[in-house]
Amino acid sequence: MFDVIIVGGGYAGMSAALPLARARRKVLVIDSGLRRNRFADAAHGVLAQDGRPPGEIAAEGKRQLLLYPDLTWRDGEAVSTSRLDDGFAVGTADGDQFRGRLLILATGVSDTLPDVPGVKERWGRSVFHCPYCHGYELNRGVLGVLASGPMSLHQAQLIPEWGPTTLFTNGVLTLDQEQQQDLARRGVTVETEAVVAVSGDRATVALKDGREKELVGLFVATEIVPGPLAEQLGCKLESTPMGTIIATDEVKATSVPGVFACGDTARAAGNVTLAMADGTMAAMGAHRALLFGLPESG
Give all strands of the β-sheet with 237-240 in edge-to-edge order. 109-112, 223-226, 243-246, 237-240
At 44 the pLDDT is 87
For residue 52, what is the enclosing H or E element?
Answer: none
Q: State residue 113 phi and psi, 5-degree precision.
A: -95, 155
What does the pLDDT read at residue 298?
40
- The Cα–Cα gap between 170 and 195 comes to 6
- Contact residues for 146 (Cβ-Cβ < 8 A; gap 6+): 114, 116, 119, 127, 152, 168, 170, 195, 198, 205, 218, 219, 220
3-state class of 209 per DSSP? Answer: coil
Q: Please report the pLDDT score of residue 131 as a whole number.
A: 94
* pLDDT at site 177: 96
Q: Are strands 127-128 and 217-220 parallel, antiparallel or unpaired?
A: parallel
Question: Which residues in the chain land under pLDDT 50?
Answer: 298
Helix (H, G, I), strand (E, B) or coil at 136: helix
pTM of the model: 0.92
Q: What pLDDT sits at residue 226?
A: 85
CA distance 233 to 85: 14
